[in-house]
Structure 1
Amino acid sequence: MTTLNIVLVGGTGSIGRLVARVAQAAGHSIRILSRHDGENVVVGDLTDASTLTDAVRDIDAVIFTHGTHGGETGFRDVDYGGVRSVLEAIGDRPVRIALMTAIGVTYREGSNSRATVSHDWKRRSERLVRASGHPYTIVRPAWFDYNDDDQHELHFLQGDTRHAGSPADGAIARSQIAEVLVASLTSDAAKSKTFELNAEHGPAQSDLDPLFGELAADVELDGAKDAENMPVSAEPADVVADLERIRALRAE
């Protein structure tokens, strides 16, 4: 069994705590990035790459479950900026990445997305991961814990076509999100894959490789089958510069 040294970004949140348990049960070593000391914690500021040297030293993988509920500044500085900072701190060392964003992340017309531009910043964080050249999996969970007691059969979707902005888009247990994120780190079939994650009625599958294997691999900066509704050519200059800088790291 492959065991990994993992840094967990967002480890104090509801998903992150479960990720830590699942990863440790699988034999992996976990360190949690935080601004404050604690058990299995490495101190660093997610918005400042210069503080993350210790956090990413000798790691094999990163799992991102972080996020903010603030306005656009929070989404820009934390959801997006945090991914940028960690990638900058890692540099050109080969590290496996699992990034959690959200179902509907490519849908730009929802009222919340228009008000906070939250989806755009999360989508930009996805693009940074793809541009980095690191092996990765990007998971877009449906609505947390809205599933019924017998609703655990995992379904991996692509194209991000569910835009109700409610549990009608799908439901998934937090515990299963954690399991999928951890499993993706050691699955060759999960590399370069982006998908929406939800559950239907039925038992959970014990082997996720067939589900990963059925997915189409990403092309360039967007997820496979994603709508082409946010062209890089129309992005802010600083975002384009970030992409170029992250791309350049793998050649240094």
Structure 2
Amino acid sequence: MRAIAFLCLLHAAFHETSGNPYSWDGARQSPPGDNSVSKVCVADKSACGCCLMKTNLDRMKEFLTLSTEGLTKYLNKSKMVINNMRDARSAFSASLNNDQSLSCRGPFVNDNVIPYKHVFLNWENGYNDNTGIFTAPRSGVYSFAATIYSTNSTGHTENTCANLQVNNVATELWEKYGQDPEDSNTVVIAVKLAAGDQVAVNLRQGCIICDNKNHYNTFTGFLVYATDEMS
């Protein structure tokens, strides 16, 4: 192939010096009345072959350019989708504490939001460990889970109860004190939230929960899928 191209170049150069009106850029303008250009392909088949080769190369270049532009477009679109997926990540998980010894929270005379202090994960910083409240960074469907636990080994005989509150709408967790030494309960929900909506776990009036480094009491949530852009 290289040899053929080289011969064509030599041929074109030879005809350039000999006044041949045909070149790599096609037919040259001839003086009026000069029909030598129209006779080139008839008189010189090799000149037509070189020009045909250049035409095909130009077409191939155009095709490759369009293909590259198309691939670049799809690549940029894929990058945008990946970036949106990264932006859509929102998840947290926390436990009541990380103490060596068992300690209890409650009972209180009123309902009390539980601040889960030991944070395992907090993508997008939606969870506030000072208040115990998760604020949705963007609209979407979220999943939340809460587990409560207490034991009478500390001398407490109160019930173990709380509720998972989503914009003041509660889902109850209740374990009545009985003869067994430990009480626990878990709730898992999926709910649609708007950006700015808040979720928390409320310790009910007169109830207790107990925890240590074993992390019996946990509050977890994550974004399943987003429904619009971040606020």
**Larger RCO: Structure 1 or Structure 2 (Cα < 8 Å, ≥ 6 residues apart)?**
2
Higher strand share: 2
**Max radius of gyration: which structure?**
2
Q: Determine if the TM-score, normalized by the shorter chain, exceeds 0.5.
A: no
Going by fraction, where is helix more abundant, 1 or 2?
Answer: 1
Provide TM-score, normalisation by structure 1.
0.23
